[in-house]
Amino acid sequence: MTDPTLVVWHDHSVARPRGKVVWLTGLSGSGKSTIANAVDVLLNQQGVPSYLLDGDNVRHGLNASPERLAPIHGEAFARRFGLGFGDEDREENIRRIAAVAELFCSAGLIVLTAFVSPFRRDRELARRYVESQGGPGDFVEVFVDTPLEVCERRDPKGLYQKARAGTLRNFTGIDSPYEPPAAPELHLAAGERSVAQLAGEVVDFLGFRSEPDGKPGS
> Looking at the annotation, which residues are catalytic?
117
Strands of the chain (E only): list them. 20-25, 50-54, 110-114, 139-144, 186-188
Q: Left (φ > 0), alpha (ψ -120 to 50) or beta: where does 55 sit?
A: alpha
> How open is the CA angle 168-172-178, to the nearest 5 degrees?
165
Mapping DSSP to helix (H, G, I), strand (E, B) and coil, where does residue 150 land? helix
CA nearest to 49, candidates 173, 216, 196: 216
CA nearest to 139, candidates 179, 85, 174, 185: 185
DSSP single-letter state for residue 209: P
Query: Per-residue DSSP letters for 71-114?
Result: HHH-HHHHHHH---SSHHHHHHHHHHHHHHHHHHHHTT-EEEEE
Distance CA 194, CA 200 (A): 10
Classify strands 110-114 and 20-25 as parallel, antiparallel or unpaired. parallel
Amino acid, res. 159: L
